[in-house]
C-alpha cells in the first residue's frame, strides 16, 4: 500500500534524509574516530555507544529511503464529488460541524484536523459523497458523520 504524503511533507522527508546521509553520517564517523583513539575497543563504552548510534542512524535512513521511494504525493482532492486522500471534508456530528483533511498515515494529526486514510473515520469516509453518512464504531459506541461538503 503506498504511503500518501503532501508535497510539502515529501520534500521535508527528502531534506531530512539528505541531512542524515551527510551530516548524520559525518557526525557518527567523528564520534567513532574519537572513541577509537582511546584504545582497547572491547571495553570502550564510547565506541559501543557510537556503534549503536550508527546502527540507529542507518536504520532510520533505510526507513526514510523506503518511505520516499514508495510515497504517492497528494496535491489535494482528486475529486470534489467523493472523499479521497487529500479531500477536505466538512462533517456534521451530533449537530456540530467538524472539518477534517484526509491524509496518509505519516501525516496524521487528529488534533490539527488531519486524519489518516487508514484510521476508522478515514476508512469510513473514503468513497462517500456529499449528503451521505459514515458510521464509525468507537469505544463509546457508534458515531454517525454526515458529509456536508467536500473540498
Residues forming a β-bridge with 101 = 88, 114
H helix or E strand, kind and range, residue 105: none
Cell of 82: 467523493
DSSP-based helix, strand, coil % in the chain, nearest 5? 45, 30, 25
H helix or E strand, kind and range, residue 80: none
Q: Which residue segments constitute the domains of the chain, with CATH numbers given?
A: 3-73 (1.10.287.180), 76-150 (3.10.50.30)
pLDDT, tens digit, 9 for 90 and up, residues 75-131: 665 667 889 888 999 999 988 999 999 998 888 999 999 999 999 999 999 999 999
SS3 call for 1:
coil
Amino acid at each position: 500500500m503506498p504511503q500518501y504524503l503532501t508535497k510539502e511533507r515529501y520534500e521535508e522527508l527528502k531534506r531530512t534524509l539528505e541531512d542524515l546521509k551527510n551530516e548524520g553520517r559525518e557526525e557518527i564517523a567523528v564520534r567513532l574516530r574519537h572513541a577509537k583513539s582511546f584504545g582497547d575497543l572491547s571495553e570502550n563504552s564510547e565506541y559501543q555507544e557510537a556503534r549503536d548510534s550508527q546502527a540507529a542512524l542507518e536504520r532510520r535512513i533505510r526507513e526514510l529511503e523506503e518511505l520516499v521511494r514508495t510515497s504517492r504525493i497528494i496535491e489535494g482532492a482528486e475529486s470534489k464529488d467523493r472523499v479521497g486522500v487529500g479531500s477536505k471534508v466538512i462533517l456534521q456530528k451530533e449537530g456540530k460541524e467538524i472539518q477534517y483533511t484526509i491524509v496518509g498515515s505519516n501525516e496524521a494529526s487528529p488534533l490539527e484536523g488531519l486524519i489518516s486514510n487508514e484510521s476508522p473515520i478515514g476508512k469510513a469516509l473514503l468513497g462517500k459523497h456529499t449528503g451521505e453518512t459514515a458510521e464509525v464504531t468507537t469505544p463509546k459506541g457508534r458515531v454517525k458523520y454526515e458529509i456536508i461538503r467536500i473540498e
